[in-house]
């Protein structure tokens, strides 16, 4: 038990040092996520102000501040309080368990010896695909949908909506990615700054109030004109679980026939059925998925 608490304190103190470095030195170790998030947010927000898609949408749109809070909570506070410890310890115990049942600790198909030029694109494609599969599951599985509903409770779209999601989603995504990318393939690229920076930029832009679809590249790259349909309240009959599940790439939706951009989605209604009864505050949304559903 002493060992367990020692491990936790080591993890926290190293994370604390990391966070301090992040705040005090923007260009430390190639870049600071804290300043990156602020910089990308400011770029996206400026675009919303200078070239808005929905011109009548307020600069401080509905739920703006709650989304800004979600952004920092999911990115830093949740990481600081729970996730770092959970993931470090779980990875350790997961590996011990795998050894116990005579499976390798990691790298069943070890790709870590390939040239970085091959590892980077393969990792990027696979990581995005794994997340696409998880996102589809968040919609198809009733239990997971309770958590994912929070992301879909946005009724006015703006850049900060990107990181409005329940912290359980982080656990689901990271577990899936850990199993496939770290355990199965032994990739060690999880902390590559440039990859993260790119995915945060595209993710923010997907939610930004601008009329952007990257022209011909829209078939590869997810974009605001496509992602808004993912948030549509009305879902087409042939796609009962939803559409446009892409994270950074739109490619998977075109490949697996879940892409849906019937017309310009500028003013479509967002949300889901009975959204009027969905809680609006951070804490109420935090506990909502754990509550028993009212049977009526
Ligand atoms: Zn979704
Ligand atoms: Zn979204």
More confident residue, 100 or 143: 143
222: confidence class by pLDDT, cuts 50, 70, 90: very high
Q: Which two tokens stand for residue 159?
A: 């850049």
Q: Which ligand is nearest to the CA of 157?
A: 2
Q: Sign (positive/negative) of CA torsion 264, 134, 197, 164?
A: positive
How far apart are the CA of 151 and the centre of ligand 2, in A?
Answer: 6
What does the pLDDT look like over 7-57, one tens digit per residue?
777 766 776 777 777 777 766 656 678 888 999 999 999 999 999 999 999
C-alpha of residue 206 to centroid of ligand 2, in Å:
7
User: Rounded to the nearest whole angstrom, what is the distance from the C-alpha of residue 134 to the centroid of ligand 1?
Assistant: 10
Measure Cα distances from 235 to 75, 81, 139, 160, 287 in Å.
30, 37, 12, 24, 27
Q: What is the pLDDT of residue 296?
A: 43
Residue 101's φ and ψ, nearest 5 degrees, are -95, 20
**Ligand whose nearest atom lies closest to the CA of 222:** 2
pLDDT of residue 80: 62
Q: Which ligand is nearest to the CA of 207?
A: 2
Q: Is residue 280 over pLDDT 50?
A: yes
**CA 120/CA 124 separation, integer angstroms:** 6
Taking the centre of ligand 2 as the mean of its atom positions, its distance from the CA of residue 108, in whole angstroms, is: 33
Out of 29-38, 135-144, 232-241, which region has the weakest mean confidence (pLDDT)? 29-38
Nearest ligand, CA 208? 2
User: What's phi and psi for 117, nearest 5 deg?
Assistant: -65, -30
pLDDT tens digits, one per residue of 187-196 = 876 667 888 8
103-139 pLDDT, tens digit per residue, is: 776 667 777 788 888 888 999 999 999 999 999 999 9
Q: Give the confidence band of 250 by pLDDT, cuts at 50, 70, 90.
A: very high
Dist. CA 194 → ligand 1 center (Å):
25
């Amino acid at each position: 038990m002493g060992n367990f608490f020692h491990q936790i304190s080591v993890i926290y103190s190293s994370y604390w040092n990391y966070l301090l470095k992040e705040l005090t030195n923007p260009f430390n170790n190639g870049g600071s996520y804290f300043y990156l998030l602020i910089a990308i947010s400011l770029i996206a927000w400026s675009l919303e102000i200078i070239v808005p898609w929905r011109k009548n949408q307020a600069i401080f749109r509905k739920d703006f501040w709650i989304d800004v809070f979600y952004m920092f909570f999911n990115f830093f506070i949740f990481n600081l309080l729970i996730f770092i410890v959970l993931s470090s310890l779980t990875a350790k115990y997961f590996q011990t368990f795998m050894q116990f049942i005579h499976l390798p600790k990691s790298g069943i198909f070890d790709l870590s010896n390939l040239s970085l030029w091959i590892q980077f694109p393969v990792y990027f494609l696979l990581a995005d695909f794994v997340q696409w599969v998880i996102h589809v599951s968040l919609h198809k599985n009733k239990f997971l949908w309770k958590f994912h509903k929070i992301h879909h409770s946005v009724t006015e779209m703006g850049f900060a909506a990107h990181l409005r999601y329940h912290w359980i989603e982080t656990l689901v995504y990271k577990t899936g990615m850990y199993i496939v990318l770290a355990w199965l393939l032994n990739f060690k690229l999880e902390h590559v700054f440039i990859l993260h920076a790119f995915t945060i930029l595209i993710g923010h832009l997907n939610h930004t109030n601008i009329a952007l679809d990257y022209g011909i590249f829209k078939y590869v790259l997810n974009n605001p004109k496509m992602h808004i349909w993912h948030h549509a309240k009305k879902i087409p009959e042939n796609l009962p679980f939803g559409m446009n599940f892409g994270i950074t790439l739109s490619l998977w939706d075109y490949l697996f026939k879940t892409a849906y951009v019937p017309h310009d989605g500028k003013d479509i209604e967002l949300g889901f059925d009975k959204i009027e009864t969905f809680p609006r505050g951070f804490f109420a949304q935090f506990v909502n998925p754990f509550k028993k559903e009212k049977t009526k």
